[in-house]
Structure formats: structure tokens, C-alpha cells
Amino acid sequence: MKIIRLPDSWAARIAAGEVIERPASVVKELVENSLDAGAGEISVWVEGSGISLIRVSDDGDGIAPEDLPLAVERHATSKLAEEADLWRISTLGFRGEALPSIGSVSKFEILSRMRSMEAGCRLCVDGGKAGEAIVAGCSAGTTVEVRELFFNTPVRRKFLKSPATELSHICDVINHAALAHREIHFRLYNQGSLLCDYPGGVEPRDRLRQILGREIAAGMVPFAWTKGESRISGFLSKAPSSFSGTRYLTAYVNRRFVRDRVLTHAILQGYETLLMKGRYPAVVLYLEIPFKDVDVNVHPAKHEVRFRRQSEIHEAVAEAVRQGLRSEAKTPTSQLTRMGEEPCGAVHEPAVSYGLRSWISDAPLPRVEFTRILEEPPLARDGFFSSLEVLGQLLGCYLICSSPRGMAVIDQHAAHERVAFERMRRQLGDGAIERQSLLIPQILELPAGEAALLEQRLELLDRVGFNVEKFGRNEYVIRTAPALLPAGDYREALRRMIAEVAEVGESESLREGLEDRLATIACHGVIRAHRKLERDEIRALLRQLDEIDFATQCPHGRPVLIEFSEEQLERMFRRT
């Protein structure tokens, strides 16, 4: 086979394939251009889920008539002035690739007028061939119209998903942009009818409500955190509400929406043990860092970034989330704890009955065991849990209480688990980890890359109780382990931690690995359910719950407490 030089039109289509994957990619690139042009209003029209038509119109700076032919040429941009700018990119675009890429796979027209000019200019591109720029009347700003997308790349068309799915990707693009640019008015029209309308200049919480809907937004709390030159802020869903996937996890780096493994990992780590396995929070996170500290030129569609100080960012984000949740997770909200129902439409009523149904139907019908604690209302009011008046113990497992807001049910096992777990965690934090020597030292063998990672962290491992020494080439001997861990094979635990270090690169993963294990021990070490508790034991437990953070969930993320407010009781009994 001979090497041939590809014809320009082929090369252009290959290059376009990286940037323009589906109609939503076109919308993303055009909206980014409008944002870079300082628009105050951005309107998007789509027809045929973006295949027949995508039109994006803005009131931004516009393009000078003499620049218009350049705008659709490859590697032509107004966003970089000198080479050094590549290392401090502050605009969303910078490659000068979007317009030519779109032009090479569609029938494309751009119409633009600078505010200072009387007339605008129009340019058409057909499958990559640009026509002449001609004078045209139009309002200030830029309108780009893309028709017959992928007409000359039929295979790409075949790979598209259903029209509804493609449209939902387009909505996502608008939503992601709007969450980061609340000063701007966004509109999306589908087949002529208004699908999204997000007026600009609103408060952060109003924007959140516009996009995520009232229900989800109401369950989120704002947070903010500054460390050095980085600022982290946004909204976090409160612990008990959770979702089955990561689609409500939105992260921005300097107002650029990214899907970043490091940020996602850090966010989830911030939630620590508050969520059950396989459940995810809703988070909007804005990270602002100096432009020079982030490389945005690592992904064709600019979805990913690289941080210069990755582990610092990871730690700061996890800490910001943890702090944001700390106070929230200490005292339950007045809402009934939601049991991870999907938050769309009217699914919230079932959440209410869920608590009741499982409570009732799990009970053996003939004889529900209830031990009355007849107790005086507590005097101590120094915390939510201590202020509960315990009425009795149901089924040897649940404490039924009268709470200041209504009725509360506590799972005594989950409560004990959390208390024990927090105690062990404190031990870990204080560096007062007790260690046990292994009678038979364990030999750990690792692939070369992982061995190098382990070797750099022997000291850290030692601090948490693992004494590990080099034994042979890529072989290590484990001599001690934390006394908190039950006896067993520690090699798998270490392997997992090292794999995590490779992914996110820091001590955080070690800590997480340990916490995971602590949660398991806490679970086995504490009072099992189905044990009658004496009154003193109950009061001690409630007091301890007030003293710890994250008291509302057990270390596996199951709820410790479910509360029915007076209002909810009334609603359940149809009194309102």
C-alpha cells in the first residue's frame, strides 16, 4: 500500500468528526461562540432534532466583514493573540476549528453585524466550500444557521440516537451553559415552540430552580470555600435525597462545563458515607482557578481538562463538599427523609408512603411488639436528638419519638453504627492508630507501575497503621495492619487503594479506603437490631448522636432517622 496525502475535503471531514459528534455538539460550539462574544441573549432554534435545522442567534460583538471569510477557515481565531495565550486560555473557544468543522458537514450560513457598523455581512458554506461574503441587513450580533447536518457523512447520521434523545442532548447543552451564565437570557425553540426560557440576571438559586426544577432545587444547599487562589462554590443536595446516576452532577472549571474524573471523584468523596452504594447526589460545582493552572486543550470537544495541581484541587473540592454538608447532615431537615426516589414529576408522594409501607408491611401482623418507655419530656435541649421524647421501642429495632416537629422514628442499629464509626474515624484523624503485628507477614506483588506508586507512599501507609517494606523486585511484605481492621488478607485492600491513587493521585484515597473498612467494622461491632434498650442506653445514644457530625445517615448511607412533620401527617391523613 502506498502512502497518499488525503484530499483536503476528506481531511476536513475527518477533523470535523472529532468535534461534531451529534447535533448537540453544533449547539454547544455555537453557544460557546456567542458566550465568548459577550452576548446578553442567546436564542437557539432546532428542527428535526437538529438535523434539519440549528439556528443560534446572539446580540454579541459580531464579526467584522473582512474577518467573516476567516471565521470559517480552519485554525483561524480571534481568541489567541500570542503563543503564550495558549497557556492561559480564558475563552471557551480557542482552536478556530468549530465553524469550519460544522461547515464541512452541513449547509451553513453565517450572518453578522458589529454594533458600530451600519450593515452586516452574510456568508454561506456548502459542505466545506465557502461562497462570497455579501452585504446584508441584520440586527447587531451574529446568527448562524446550520441545515442538513451530516448530509455528506451518512454513516454519522446512522449512528445518531432517537430524535428525542438527540433533542435531550441539546437541552443539556443549553442547561449546562445557563447554569454557569446566569446573567444571560437563554431560549430554546423546538419546531417553533418554546422549550426552554431562562431569563437572565437572576439569583443563583432562581437559576437552579429554572433548570433543575423546584423540587430538586429545594433539596439543595449553597456552599462556598476558598483555598489559596481557588474558589469553590455551588449547590449540594442534602444527604438523603439521591439519584441512580451521575446526571445531576455538574461541574464547571472557570465557567466551562467539564466531565472530569478528578472532580467527580472528589465530589463523591465529599459525600463520604452519606449515600448508599450506587446512589449519587445532585451537585452544581463551580471551580474558579487561575487560567494558567488548568490546561483546557486536552479533549477535542473540550469536555475534559487537566489540572496542574491535581491532588490539591481534589482535596480542596472534597473538603469544600464535606464542609458544606457537615452542618446540614447533623440535624435533619423538617422534610421527611426521602428514600432516594427519582425526583421527577410527582414521585414524591410515594416517598412519603415508602417510609410507612416498609414499616408496616415488614411487621408480623398478629403481634407488633411495642415496649413503652414512659418517659418525662427531656429537659436537655442542646441538640436535636436529645430533645426527642422517646415513646417506645417498636419491633426491638425502632425508637418511636415525639419530635418538636411531629413524629420521629430512629433505627437504633443505624444510629449505633454511625456513632461507633465516627469514634473510629476520630482515632484515625488524631493519628492515634493502634497497630497489630501480623503473625504471618503477607507478601504483596504488584505490577511495576503500581509498585512505584506504593513505594512513594510507604510512609503514609505507615502512619495509618500499615507497615510495608520492599521485599524483592515489585514485591512487598506487610508486617503490621491497623488494629481496627479485623484479621484477614490485607493485600486486596492495599491493591485497591493503590489503584485509586493511580486514578486520582493522593492520600485522600487511602483515607477513603480505610473509612470503607471502618464502616464495615462499625457495622459488626455495634449492637445489632432486635435488642431491647434500657432508658439510659437510649438517652446516651441520643446524646452521642448530637455530638457527632453526619448523624442522620449510617456509615453505609442508610437513614438513621425518618421524621414525619405535623404537616406531613396531616397530608397523609388527607386533613389538608
- Which residues would be at the binding site for ligand ADP (CB under 6 A)? 29, 33-34, 37, 58, 60-63, 71, 77-79, 93-99, 142
Reading the block at residue 262, the C-alpha cell is 478528578
Contact segment (CB under 5 A) with Mg ion among 29-37, 169-177, 275-283, 436-444 equals 29-37
Compute the least distance from the CB of residue 32 to Mg ion, in Å: 5
Distance CA 355, CA 409 (A): 10
Secondary element (H or E) of residue 385: none
Q: Which of 101, 58, 59 has the alpha carbon at shortest distance from 76?
A: 101
Smallest distance from Mg ion to CB 5, Å: 28
Interface with Mg ion (CB under 5 A), residue from 23, 50, 93, 555: 93
User: What angle do helix axes 310-326 and 507-525 make, rounded to 10 degrees?
Assistant: 40
Q: In whole angstroms, what is the distance from residue 428 CA to residue 422 CA?
A: 10
- Closer by beta carbon to ligand ADP, 301 or else 460: 301
> CB 274 → ligand ADP: shortest distance, Å?
40
Residue 513 binding target from Mg ion, ligand ADP, none, CB below 5 to 8 Å by type:
none
Count, residues in the chain: 576
Return the range that interacts with Mg ion (CB under 5 A); candidates 85-93, 138-146, 243-251, 274-282.
Answer: 85-93
Cβ nearer to ligand ADP, comparing 60 with 355? 60
Residue with cell 452586516: 120
Nearest to 99 by CA among 164, 34, 49: 34
The letter for the amino acid at 30 is L
Burial of 562 (0-12, 13-18, 19+ CB in 10 A): buried
> Smaller CB distance to ligand ADP: residue 58 or 166?
58
Q: What is the 3-state secondary structure (H, E, C) of 443-465?
A: EEECCHHHHHHHHCCHHHHHHCC
Q: Which stretch binds Mg ion (CB under 5 A): 28-36, 67-75, 156-164, 175-183?
A: 28-36
Q: Which is nearer to ligand ADP, 37 or 419 (CB)?
A: 37
C-alpha cell at 221: 444547599
Nearest CB to ligand ADP, comparing residues 96 and 270 = 96
By CB under 5 A, is residue 98 in contact with Mg ion? yes
Minimum separation from the CB atom of position 98 to Mg ion (A):
4
Residue 78 binds what, of Mg ion, ligand ADP, none (CB under 5 to 8 Å, by partner type)? ligand ADP
Q: Which is nearer to ligand ADP, 23 or 332 (CB)?
A: 23
Question: By Cβ distance, which residue is nearest to ligand ADP?
Answer: 93
Residues 18-43: b if buried by 16+ CB within 10 A, e if exposed: ebbbbbbbbbbbbbbbbbbbebebbb
8-state DSSP, 55: E
Q: Which is nearer to Mg ion, 33 or 175 (CB)?
A: 33
Residue among 71 and 514 whose Cβ is closer to ligand ADP: 71
- Residue 43, beta-bridge partner list: 57, 187
CB of 64 to Mg ion, least distance (A): 16
Whole-number Å distance between alpha carbons of 137 and 122: 9
79's contact among Mg ion, ligand ADP, none, with CB below 5 to 8 A by partner kind, is ligand ADP
**Residue of closest CB approach to Mg ion:** 93
Nine-digit cell at 509?
Answer: 484515597
CB of 239 to ligand ADP, least distance (A): 41
Total site size for Mg ion, rule CB under 5 A: 3
Q: Toward Mg ion, which CB reaches closer, 35 or 420?
A: 35
Question: Does residue 261 contact residue 504 with C-beta atoms inside 8 Å?
Answer: yes
Nearest approach in angstroms of CB 133 to Mg ion is: 19
CA distance 166 to 92: 23
Q: List, in order, residues 6 or more apart from 292 with CB less than 8 Å away.
A: 87, 88, 308
Minimum separation from the CB atom of position 61 to ligand ADP (A): 5
The yes or no reply on residue 33 touching Mg ion (CB under 5 A) is: yes
Choose from ligand ADP, Mg ion, none: what does 58 bind? Cβ within 5-8 Å by kind: ligand ADP
Q: Calculate helix-pair angle for 412-429, 535-547, nearest 10 degrees.
A: 50
The residue (of 73 and 382) whose beta carbon lies closer to ligand ADP is: 73
Report, in Å, the least distance between residue 140 CB and ligand ADP.
10
- Could you tell me the smallest distance in angstroms from the CB atom of residue 117 to ligand ADP? 13
Q: Taking a C-beta distance cutoff of 8 angstroms, is the pair 336, 565 a contact?
A: yes
Nearer to ligand ADP, 71 or 551 (CB): 71
* Smallest separation, CB 484 to Mg ion (Å): 53
Helix axes 261-271, 507-525, angle to 10 degrees: 30
Three-state DSSP at 396 gives coil
Residues forming the site for Mg ion (CB under 5 A): 33, 93, 98
